[in-house]
Amino acid sequence: MTTQDNLSGAPSEELMPKTAGTDSMLDSILSQNPYFSAGFGLMGVGVALSGLKRSTTLLFNLAQRRLLVTLEISSKDRSYLWFLNWMSKQSRKNSSTNQLAAETSYRQLSDGTHQVDFALVPGPGNHFFKFQRAWFQVKRERDGKLIDLNSGTPWETLKLTTLSRDRKLLVELLKEAKSVSMKTEEGYQGEFGR
């Protein structure tokens, strides 16, 4: 009887003499326990998914830094009210925003009567609009912990985000917001300044 009974010429395991170190307990657990091998398989899948998640997050952040531009306007800046006024006029035309906030203006006229106006402006949250064929995202954030001591209003910021190629439209947007706001103020002064 020969010890080579397969085609490769390797000796069969059954005919080889067993030594004490060959069949250790660790080898039998690793090779014969289906739960242990399934655990290694699940661990491998988990590591692969974790790596995939991390790489997509890194790629998304890199793309966001390269492809998007964000402009932040604080509530202390004059353009903050101009932009809110402009955006309220846009939302009246399109009526696309569902998150609104009320801004009340109060004036005492020369004849002693009072003029109260209400403007519905976009409230805190995310809003989208189109300006000169470019899409913008506006994120209005209110910090409840910080308060403007002069007016007593909470600290707010507006973050305008668009594609990097439309960066020049940010300045045009602010200029248009200023123009619309100035026309509105002139109308009030002309109408009530007499």
Q: Is residue 102 part of a domain?
A: yes
Percent of the chain with pLDDT over 90: 24
Which residue among 66, 90, 120 closes a domain? 66
- Residues 96 and 187 occupy one common structural domain: yes
Domain count, the chain: 2
Query: Which tokens sit at 174?
Result: 């602010």
Q: What is the pLDDT of residues 51-88, one digit of tens each?
A: 999 999 999 888 888 899 999 999 888 899 899 888 88
Whole-model pTM? 0.59
- Residues 96 and 180 occupy one common structural domain: yes
Range of the domain at 44: 25-66
Burial class (CB in 10 A: 0-12, 13-18, 19+), 150: exposed
- Residues 91 and 105 occupy one common structural domain: yes
Report the pLDDT averaged over residues 86-113. Answer: 76
Report the pLDDT averaged over residues 90-107. Answer: 72
- Residues 139 and 107 occupy one common structural domain: yes
Radius of gyration of the chain (CA): 34
Q: Which residue has the tokens 């998304």?
A: 60
- Residues 42 and 94 occupy one common structural domain: no
- Residues 61 and 150 occupy one common structural domain: no
Q: Is residue 17 part of a domain?
A: no
- Residues 122 and 161 occupy one common structural domain: yes
